[in-house]
Amino acid sequence: MIDPVLLFEQLFNGVQYGILLFLLAAGLTLVFGIMDMMNLAHGSLYMVGAYIAATVTLATNSFLIGIFLALPATLLIGVLLEVVILRHLYDRGHLDQVLATFGMILFFNELVRLIWGPAGIEVPLPNILNQSLTLFSIPLPVYRIVVIGVGLLIAAFLYILVVKTRTGMLIRAGASNREMIGALGVDIKVVFTLVFGLGAALAALAGVMAGPIFAATIGMGENILIQVLVVIVIGGIGSIRGAFVGALLIGVIEILGRSFLDDFFKLFLPVNAAETAAPAAASMLIYILMAAVLFFRPQGLFPARSG
Amino acid sequence: MVEALLNIENLRKSFGGVLATDDLSLSVETGKIHAVIGPNGAGKTTMVSQISGALRPDSGRIVFNGEDITRFPPPTRSLRGIARTFQITSIFHEFTALENVSLAAQAHDGHSFRFWQPAKEEDGLTEPAKEALELVGLEDRAQVLACNLSHGENRQLEIAMALVTQPKLLLLDEPMAGMGADESKKMVAILNGLKGEHTILLIEHDMDAVFALADQITVLVYGSAIASGLPEDIRLNPEVRAAYLGDEE
Amino acid sequence: MKVNRETIVCVLIFLLLAMVPAIAALTDVPFYLDLARRMMILAIGALSLNLIMGYGGMISFGHAVFIGIGAYTVGICAEHEIVSGYIQWPLALIISAMFAVVFGAISLRTRGVYFIMITLALAQMMYFLGVSLDRYGGDDGLPLAEPSNFSGLIDLSEKTSLYYLVFGLLIFCLWICQRMVNSRFGMAIQGARSNEERMQAIGFPTFRYKLTAFVIAGAMAGLAGALLANHTDFVNPDMMHWTRSGDLIIMVLLGGMGSLSGPIVGALVFILLEEALSGITEYWQLIFGPFLILVVLFARGGLLGFLEKARELKPSLDRDNG
């Protein structure tokens, strides 16, 4: 009944979407876990990365230059934000952090609208990336394969960084005990800025890669941010592993739900009811999953902090 | 034969790789002051937290007043008659001393689904609260915000909050922590006054206070009891001297 | 009743609000009436949020969802030709409360950052649900077939009638909040905000009280929603969007958290700022965003607190535990 080719394609798209979610979730969960900070403006960095990449690509006709300029530029903006505003919020309660970063979202959305106008920017792909590879007679867009590849590389890099290196040890220790880090003689401010920078870089990378798929649009940060939050809640705050598992889970469920829920409903509902209920139910799927996970494990699947 | 009000049986609790409570068994007789002493890190607060319900033991039983309370959550245990004070002062900073104690009284006066009458005007809550404050010597400071009380007064407030609930068992976790000589003397006097009427499990480092107050002493080292008995026996016990008391007195 | 700066400001605001219809008629600017009415409706929403956030310490980033649910209840009823306000409005309260029970039961199992994120996620889920309901307008929203009918009592198609009903309900809600906050229940949730572990240790099963507060706040917001539907003659999913919840939080903050009438002051300032800034430039959020950041960084007690501090020159000591 369900076309297996379509199923595999959407599964593939789900994994690719999950990878984007992972890049955003990894940075955000580190910032939550280590600095205990609620940064809603994470999505804004994603958006800025997409817009800068789009503009430079169109101006120079080279996607590569677009990437190589957008990444450091967005990273710089992120670090600037941290130094000027965000670091003063680490000691404040979550409410203050939420409000201040909310203010940043308003500012960035409006700034983007001022500079680039209300309509989004479509990002054209260079020809090599704009093709399809046929695997077992299933056409798969090359670009999306690249995105997945990059994502997996980053996941591996983060794994090695956090688990095998001294920096990673500091990060993990920081996630469970901030005072200890200070006592070890490490300048905590530097660690925080580095962690934030890492998060900003990941957000920028996600934005740059998302551009050609979703187009750079105002408010794209918030739309994906909510899902990123669901990923983190499910995966557990502070946990890269949790972010990875959660992101792939959410990505796949989201995409498959949208594509196939109406077919699924048609198995036991009249066609009309299935077609009205499906979009509504599809949009609720990941939240239902979140509620279910929380019911059994309020700390998420792989909590990095105990207590 | 005096009944044991509280019986801890083979309690075990570990955190990751650390065994904080190691097959601990202990009995507290009704009407007595039972002191628990031991070096830092011996697991005294962990033990108290398991009795109060803030922590769940990995295995073992806690029997209170003939009832197995091992699975009960903290509010239920409090309502059964177990009152606890905290080693690190834990009070309601934005409330006055009187409000802090009234709140404890409120918890034990039926449910709080009352939405209309101002709680401050309920004599049924404020009168017992004032009495409890008097017992610990804080009656003049009733209207002072808890965050403006001195450290010693905070420790007294903790006791008042425990007393107002008319508990059967008082779990006092280092009530004299951080107190000077005078304040400690006051506290010992207060605790002496509670003897007989209340059953107390007392954790303390202040050895003068312990030997002045305790009817029974248990020595906790690395999560298990290495000795338990009358104060004179404990004082002379060679293992205890080696592990903790040293050769003082 | 204590007469302090807060009470005076509150009374002044109410006097001003009472006169607005007259002022609007005299100056022939009906817009004033609209603006003030919207402000009062949002103030009711902010009051309800302050109950759980300011007094209960529960930072809900999805509170606007209950306003939306209340509004949609009225809208959907009207769509199905149930136009009697006597049925619609109690239904709006009940349905908001029911959603609050479910959302609260899920969210209150968590604390801190998790709680904020879950309330945000649940609210956004409802937003998407609203968008996908084509039967009720979907993204475009649903015009209100006709105003809620309170036959015999009041005619809501009359602008000033609705205005004074909202005015009366605002005062009523403020009164309810005042009673609740000082009652045993109020003490219980304030205690839970102050030190939840201690509350449990002295014998309070805190979950049930927090959930009850959450439900009461949800119902009050639902009432605001029913009023909003009649105010705009229109319901749309945007009413439930998380940025609307953000607006409510801003109002509570601007007015000073944990002060009874603060949300009303906050709503007033918010609406006035929004109007003033959008008059200056189309890109007013460019100014509002940084303004918000500055308020957070420097004016911790909100505007009421700011007034107190300016008078007494006391340094800001407040630390919030999120």
Q: Say which DSSP state C54 is in.
A: I
Over residues B97-111, mean pLDDT: 94
Angle at CA of residue C311, ends C309 and C315, nearest 5°: 35
Q: Cα–Cα distance between A28 and A202 in angstroms, integer?
A: 9
Pairing outcome for strands C234-235 and C142-143: antiparallel
H/E element holding A230?
helix A220-235
Output the pLDDT for position A306: 40
Confidence of residue A66 (pLDDT cuts 50, 70, 90): confident
B125 CA: distance to closest CA in chain C (Å): 10
- Average pLDDT of the residues of chain A: 86
Output the pLDDT for position C321: 32
The closest CB to that of A284, out of C113, C129, C289, belongs to C129
Contacts for A272 with CB less than 8 Å, ≥ 6 apart: none
Over residues B22-46, mean pLDDT: 91
The closest CB to that of C289, out of A110, A113, A287, belongs to A110
Q: Cα–Cα distance between A54 and A112 in angstroms, integer?
A: 13
The closest CB to that of A229, out of C109, C117, C292, belongs to C117
Residue of A nearest to C114 (CA): A233
- Please give the residue that has the higher pLDDT: either C90 or C322: C90
Residue of C nearest to B49 (CA): C201
Contacts for C233 with CB less than 8 Å, ≥ 6 apart: C143, C144, C147
Chains near B (3 or more Cβ pairs under 8 Å): C
* pLDDT tens column, C172-220: 999 999 999 999 999 999 999 999 999 999 999 999 999 999 999 999 9
Lowest mean pLDDT among A14-23, A132-141, B5-14, B189-198: A132-141
Percent share of chain C, pLDDT over 90: 61
Q: Is residue C317 predicted with pLDDT exceeding 60?
A: no
Confidence of residue C310 (pLDDT cuts 50, 70, 90): low
Residues of A in contact with C99 (CB under 8 A): none
The closest CB to that of C201, out of B84, B106, B119, belongs to B84
The closest CB to that of A107, out of C109, C124, C289, belongs to C289
Q: Does the distance separating the beta carbons of C113 and A93 come in below 8 Å?
A: no
Q: Is B130 helix (H, G, I), strand (E, B) or coil?
A: helix
Q: Does the distance separating the beta carbons of C200 and B103 come in below 8 Å?
A: no
- Please give the residue that has the higher pLDDT: either C308 or A114: A114
Output the pLDDT for position B168: 93
Contacts for C2 with CB less than 8 Å, ≥ 6 apart: none
How big is the A-C interface in CB pairs under 8 Å? Answer: 136
Q: Does the distance separating the beta carbons of B119 and C187 come in below 8 Å?
A: yes
Q: Does the distance separating the beta carbons of B106 and C187 come in below 8 Å?
A: yes
Residues of B in contact with C195 (CB under 8 A): 90-93
Output the pLDDT for position B1: 46
Q: Is B214 helix (H, G, I), strand (E, B) or coil?
A: coil
Q: Is residue C322 predicted with pLDDT exceeding 70?
A: no
Dihedral (C-alpha) A171, A175, A177, A181: value to the nearest 10 degrees?
A: 20
Confidence of residue A177 (pLDDT cuts 50, 70, 90): low
- Please give the residue that has the higher pLDDT: either A201 or C152: A201
Asked if residue C43 lies in contact with residue C267, where contact means CB atoms within 8 angstroms, the answer is yes
Select, from the ranges A24-33, A71-80, A156-165, the one with the highest average predicted confidence (pLDDT).
A71-80
* pLDDT tens column, B57-77: 999 999 999 999 999 999 999
Lowest mean pLDDT among A10-24, A127-141, A174-188, B147-161: A174-188
Q: Does the distance separating the beta carbons of C291 and A32 come in below 8 Å?
A: no
Output the pLDDT for position C300: 66
Q: How far is CA B35 from CA A246, B26, B27, B182, C210, in A?
A: 49, 11, 11, 21, 37
Output the pLDDT for position A303: 76
Confidence of residue B249 (pLDDT cuts 50, 70, 90): very low
Pairing outcome for strands B169-173 and B199-203: parallel
Over residues B122-134, mean pLDDT: 94
Q: Is residue C283 predicted with pLDDT exceeding 50?
A: yes
- Please give the residue that has the higher pLDDT: either B139 or A162: B139
Chains near C (3 or more Cβ pairs under 8 Å): A, B
Q: Token digits for A52?
A: 């800068």
Output the pLDDT for position B16: 80
* pLDDT tens column, A43-56: 999 999 999 999 99
B114 CA: distance to closest CA in chain C (Å): 6
Q: Does the distance separating the beta carbons of C320 and A92 come in below 8 Å?
A: yes
Output the pLDDT for position C2: 57
Q: Does the distance separating the beta carbons of B93 and C194 come in below 8 Å?
A: yes
* pLDDT tens column, C70-82: 999 999 999 998 8
Q: Does the distance separating the beta carbons of A107 and C133 come in below 8 Å?
A: no
* pLDDT tens column, A218-266: 888 988 998 999 999 899 888 888 999 999 999 999 999 888 888 888 8
Confidence of residue B219 (pLDDT cuts 50, 70, 90): very high
* pLDDT tens column, A85-139: 998 888 888 888 888 999 999 999 999 999 998 888 888 887 777 778 777 777 8
The closest CB to that of C292, out of A91, A102, A283, belongs to A102
How big is the B-C interface in CB pairs under 8 Å? Answer: 95
**Phi and psi torsions of A230, nearest 5°:** -60, -40
ipTM of the complex: 0.91
Output the pLDDT for position A222: 87
Q: Does the distance separating the beta carbons of A103 and C61 come in below 8 Å?
A: no
Output the pLDDT for position A178: 63
* pLDDT tens column, C30-51: 899 999 999 999 999 999 999 9
